[in-house]
Chain A
Amino acid sequence: MQDQQFTALSQRAWEGVAESANRPGDAARFFSERMVPRSFAETLRAFLARRGIAESELPGRLAAVRPGVKRDSLRRRVSSWLSGGQPSDRGELIGLCFALGLSGEEAENFLCICGDGGFHLREPREAAFLYSLRAGKSYEEALALIARLPNAGGPFPADAESAPSAFTRTVADRLAEVTSDEEFLRFYEESLPVFGTLHNTAFLWFSRFFDELRQPSAPCGAEEDASYSVERAVELYLRLNVPASRNEKSFSQLQKAIKRLWPNATAIKNMLARKLDVSRKTLLLLYVATEGLDDGAIEEAMGWEPDSPDEILEEHVWNCNLMLHECGFSPLDPRSPFDWLVLYSLRPGDGEDESMSDRLSQALALLFGDGREVDAESGAPC
């Protein structure tokens, strides 16, 4: 399936995962020398081409979305994006969807590629934007619709984050049937009890994974009869040789992309306390740390032939993508630097019996050159 889905660059990235299978050194080399990360400029140009819009037209289209912003400023912004810059926030990405005249589905796709995930439909404003894009409304009309929604910016009911039906996919199913403003307003009223800003499905997965790490008796833990503190669990399983330093001046773009929003103990605590949304990166790191909640013991006990490394990778990718889809996040992208490293760690080395975390940690140690002695061939810390 992967062959059919990807472009030549993505295909090269996929092949890089298999080629680096056995040696973190190879992974680091591929990553540094041959990896062509997907840039925002590349995505933007692709969508402009698909919609038949010239690059020069974009500032004008953006002016319609952001009437208060000067044309020059918009031109500079577009120029910056096309030469390696990134939009500063999600609002700007959603504005671009309107400026590009994207359909609802295209906008979902655009957000997935550029912003971690599609519309978060339990957030009323994002639901209104998606409905507006589907209905062919302008950005201005979308804002007007949002203005008609009482309390669209929250605060939302405290128990909304745990209501049984408060899941993005449930809300998405209901929103899919909405075809008029009146229906949207009715949908909004009906959905008020379940609106919220945090991803609930992601939180469920997060809890499942993190509980496994804190109570490491089975199946993934290395020690018995212990319950780790958040700090200890983060240090043991999520630090993975990524420097804690906030000084990123010396980091390359790739290193910055990897390190960006790397979860620390404080972030995890806030996620547990539902003060911070569970990020896609955190979820994937937890998947790696818990081996996808599978230690292979059942295969051994049942006497099943183990799957080949490629089969294991493929199954993990499908599972990860299903999980990400359920949470409203974008699927794994081999041209995203972080995702590539996750893919690298998901594929066991041929004949090697090492954990996903070890593989990720060794590759990161080489990529960040943390000063520890590392065997250039195997990547194992000496």
Chain B
Amino acid sequence: MDVRTALPEGTELRLEGRVFRIGACTGRGASALVYRASYEDAAQPGLFHRVLLKELFPWHPQGAIRRGASGEILCGPEGEALLETHRQSFLRAARIHVRLQAARADKTPANLDTCRANGTLYAVMSDGGAKTLADVLSEGRVPLPAMTAWLVNLLYTLRVFHEEGLLHLDVSPDNILLQPLDEGKPEKYREVLLIDYNSAWSADELAARRELFLSLKEPWSAPELQLRDVAAVGPASDLYSVCMILLQYLLGYPPVRQAVWRKVPPIAGSPALSGCSAVVFHQAASILRRGLKASPGQRFQSAQEAVAAFSELLDRLEHGGVTHGAVWEASAARLRAERSRMPSAAEWGELAEERASLLETLERAGNVQLTGGSGSGKTTLLAGLWLRGLRAYSPACAVPVFLPLCGYDGSADFVRRSLLSMLSPGEGRTWEEARLGLERLLDAPGGGVLLLLDGFEEAGGDTAPLRAELRALTALRGVRVIVSARRAVPELGLPELSVPPLSAAEIEAYLARRGVELPQGGQFPELLHTPVFLSIYARTDKARAGKHPESGDRAEDEALLDDYLDSLVSAAGEALGEEAAVRAGFAVRVLLPCFAWRMGQRPALSAEGAGSAAAGLFSAVRRGRVSRSFPQYLGRNRALLGGAKDADDWFGLMVRGLLERRMALVWQDGDGAYHLFHQYFQPILASRWPACRKRLRRSRLRRILPAAAAAAVLLAGVGVWRAAAEHTPSAVQRREDTALAVSELSFGCGLLDLQLSAQDRLLTAAESLPAGDEAAWEDWLEQLDRETALLDTQEAQSEAGERALAELSDSGLPLDVMETLLALPETNRSEWALQAQALTLCLAPDSPYGEADRLEALRACRGLCDSRTRESFLLISRTAAGLSGEEAEPLLSLLAQSESWRAYAYQTINDSESCERGLTACRGEQEALWETLAGLGLLNREETP
């Protein structure tokens, strides 16, 4: 028991002629007591300086060293040796302190003087208001990031110690001072200092001695100190103590040595680590594993090494930096996000298990392209690899990163930028450093990154840069690539691995696990060997028994899909009631096909596109057209509307509530675009929309005809529509008509944007074509075919647009402008075909056209493209100017987000005159450019527009 008596508060202690007023005793060590104290300024009475006083007063077990009545330190003969040992140690500590202060004052609390008084020694030190780590930890929970930041700074302080050739050898929480920090400043800026240099020795002193005065403190003293193996004492001894402080913090109590017995200490249940990622756990465990080795030679050998390891832990906690662990964390975060979004994600784990052996093959396969038709389970397999690779973190294993290629933007570093976009450089580091860090990581042997690139065909535009990047990536030591594609892409230069159909055993196991009856007779129809159908088959209500699909043609696909959709509708009805079932039926039979049709060849429909489609159908429902078109909805208008007040309300009800959440038939990606539950069904669903649309239009005619009172007028065309519109004067209806027309126009403009972007890409590629280069020419032709094929699949929808405009004949809107705009995608498509033909003639390697002609032709086509862009912008602006802000919103939003009209983002054309002038100029320049092409002999004059 410590029976040492401290000096009473208020005691006046004279040291070297200066009077110190003793305050509270704030620390008790084995050799000294520490007090707060103050003294008066020599020149300004009443001004007091605050200091700390350290009094040499060693603890003697039998109390042989004690305080006398006048405050002096008394020592019996049995305590003399002990007192002398501590006296020498005290003086050594002061010498070391002053030496360190001279070297690095910022890392050393100021030691002002050492004085003799009261039969003992006093060290006068500055009082910066710091607290010991022991005190701070005893006050309550310290967050792990703060603790890690402190330990990093402690290591920097230790580095100064070691650089001075000194070892502290008594690093423990009560000898660590945390300096005050400005409020709001991050903890990483808090200075952390070491005090009590009584056990500090230089390397020379260690080498010369066999016996040392050492402060042995369990559990912080390193094994070599416990074994008094002087030869083994070194910087690693101090670093052991730092790691032990981390362990103590993580456990919440001081550990016994057995806890670190050649194993990771039991930190799995650490409250400080709860909620942290696997990488954080791994990094903390790795630090402890290395830092707490019994063998000093296997621990961190320098403070700098330890700083790197602790800084990585801090980075992982703050999600900064570009390291293997950082990529793992980012990929895991993306996986979590995707799993909560994508409906198929629920089955990833199970399907991955079903096909474990295939996944294992893929894991061992090296760089590979995974091929298989739509629905063959490529995405699920990649997702399975993603899931398996992220189950646990290991620096020796490649981090799987899943990247859908539908987001490919034509850039030459798409994959690298995608990886970087998941990461953060960390505080104080630049993106350039992050980029370099990524390059180092990708070329480092060992764990590395497994790139799971999904859907090569969905990468729009020119994929040559992507292919080049993949070739470069596969040459790096830390990268493995698996690309999924419907058909083999020889240009990738990767070996092909086809997804085999599911085996009978796999199907049986899958169905058995879900308690689903096997098809009658035990024979599996061909269709079920495809994962997407098996999944749907299993999910479809078992009541469908006996209606198993029997072969693999499209009609059976549809039958199975219908079964599935019906089962979802009835499940929604059971859960939400009969009215919800009506809405669910409409959502899957009308709204979903509309979405699918609008997607065209793209894998997703933008949020605006989805909103516009739903708004059109909402209008149709409200106006009773749906119930007139579809007998099953007669009298069910109220149920279909579901209480929705406006189109937004209805969108929430039908799309978010039913299609997305309840039935998981669509899902929204990070950009807000809507995807179908499986791309396989897009063509099937899309093919159902034209019929729906037709019925809706017929119902519109039926509504208009009685009002016009003349059936024959129907055949008279647009005029009829205008006449009919006169009979629908309500402002509400006009708004709805306008919304419908704008929606159709927006769709057309979106298509035009696609066309112009594709033209731009093709022209850019053509402009850099080396003359006579066969391979480059083939690539360009391939790009031309692909882009043109993609655009040809889009229906310009002008008929619907024309009818929509007809409704607005008396609205005062610039209908001529709008009609021109509506027709523009089709016009542009045919004109581009002519330009492409001209380019093909003059750019071919064996073309008779010379370089000058080639350049002129290219300039003409570029001019036409630019002029068309300008023209369409003017038309859109003019249209928007005639609409109210709300009505024009889809068009303005399209302008803001488009590729083509980005350059005009800050221009506004409000008056019809300047618009007309601009349009006239466009037409003039287009005529001249066509003339140029004809003049070169690339087109017949009669062909030109």
Residues of chain A whose beta carbon lies under 8 Å from any beta carbon of chain B: 1, 4-5, 174, 177, 179-180, 183, 186, 208, 292-294, 298, 301-305, 307, 311, 314-319, 321-322, 325-326, 331
Contacts and interface: CB of A to CB of B under 8 A. Distances in A.
B392 interface: yes
A309 to B, nearest CB: 13
Interface in B674-723: none
Contacts of B286: 302, 304
A1 B394 contact: no
A301 B397 CA distance: 11
A319 B244 CA distance: 16
A318 B262 CA distance: 10
B83 to A, nearest CB: 12
B62 A183 contact: yes
A315 B296 CA distance: 9
A304 B264 CA distance: 11
Contact of A315 (B78, B231, B293): B293
B97 interface: no
A292 B395 CA distance: 26
Interface of B: 60-62, 78, 81, 223-224, 226-227, 229, 231-232, 257-258, 261-264, 282, 285-286, 289, 293-298, 392-397, 447
A314 B264 contact: no
A317 B60 CA distance: 36
A360 to B, nearest CB: 18
Nearest to A303: B394
A302 B62 contact: no
A174 B1 CA distance: 12
Contacts of A317: 295
A141 B62 CA distance: 24
Contact of B396 (A4, A292, A305): A305
B668 to A, nearest CB: 35
Contact of A293 (B262, B293, B394): B262
A301 B392 contact: yes
B261 A319 contact: yes
**7 shortest interchain CB distances as A-B pairs:** A303-B394, A318-B294, A303-B396, A177-B61, A318-B295, A1-B232, A294-B262
The main secondary structure of chain B at its interface with chain A is loop
Given A1-B232, A177-B61, A315-B294, 6 more contacts: A293-B261, A302-B282, A307-B298, A318-B293, A318-B294, A321-B227
A307 B299 CA distance: 12
Contacts of B395: 303-304
A304 B62 CA distance: 50
Contacts of B294: 315, 318-319, 322
A303 B398 CA distance: 11
A319 B262 contact: yes
Interface centre among B61, B224, B289, B397 (most CB of A within 10 A): B61
Contacts of B397: 303
Contact of B295 (A304, A314, A325): A314
B718 to A, nearest CB: 71
A108 B81 CA distance: 22
Given A177-B62, A183-B62, A304-B286, A315 B262 contact: yes
A301 B268 CA distance: 13
B230 to A, nearest CB: 10
A17 to B, nearest CB: 15
Contact of B227 (A208, A302, A322): A322
Nearest to B223: A322
Interface centre among A4, A177, A294 (most CB of B within 10 A): A177
A303 B394 CA distance: 5
B231 A4 contact: yes
Given A303-B396, A314-B295, A322 B226 contact: yes
A187 B538 CA distance: 80
B289 A304 contact: yes
B392 A179 contact: no
A304 B289 CA distance: 10
B273 to A, nearest CB: 14
Contact of A294 (B263, B282, B297): B263
Contact of A298 (B227, B232, B264, B393): B264
B223 A318 contact: yes
B257 A322 contact: yes
A174 B289 CA distance: 33
B263 A179 contact: no
A342 to B, nearest CB: 16
B295 A179 contact: no
B298 A315 contact: yes
A183 B78 contact: yes
Nearest to B446: A305
B295 A311 contact: yes
Given A183-B62, A302-B286, A304-B286, A1 B262 contact: no
Contacts of B394: 302-303
Contacts of A307: 298
Nearest to B261: A293
Contact of B297 (A1, A183, A321, A322): A1
10 contacts: A179-B78, A186-B62, A293-B262, A302-B264, A302-B394, A303-B392, A303-B394, A314-B295, A319-B262, A322-B223
A307 B290 CA distance: 11
Contacts of B223: 318, 322
A180 B78 contact: yes
Nearest to B289: A304
Nearest to B232: A1
Contacts of B224: 1
Contacts of B232: 1
B269 to A, nearest CB: 15
A292 B261 contact: yes
B78 A5 contact: no
Nearest to A301: B392
A134 to B, nearest CB: 12
B229 A1 contact: yes
A325 B228 CA distance: 10
A340 B62 CA distance: 44
A298 B263 contact: yes
Nearest to B231: A4
A318 B223 CA distance: 8
Nearest to A321: B227
A141 B262 CA distance: 46
Contacts of A183: 62, 78
A325 B226 contact: yes
Nearest to A3: B231
A298 B281 CA distance: 13
A311 B395 CA distance: 20
Interface centre among B282, B294, B392 (most CB of A within 10 A): B294
Nearest to A176: B61
A325 B262 contact: no
Nearest to A318: B294
A4 B286 CA distance: 29
A331 B228 CA distance: 12
A3 B724 CA distance: 105
A203 B206 CA distance: 35
A164 to B, nearest CB: 13
B855 to A, nearest CB: 58
Contacts of A321: 227
B194 to A, nearest CB: 25
Contacts of A302: 264, 282, 285-286, 289, 394
Contacts of A298: 263-264
Nearest to A305: B396
A125 B508 CA distance: 78
A102 B475 CA distance: 70
A326 B294 CA distance: 14
A179 B84 CA distance: 15
Contacts of B263: 293-294, 298
Interface centre among A4, A5, A304, A326 (most CB of B within 10 A): A304
A362 B734 CA distance: 97
Nearest to B393: A303
A325 B231 CA distance: 17
B81 A179 contact: yes
B60 A177 contact: yes
A294 B293 CA distance: 14
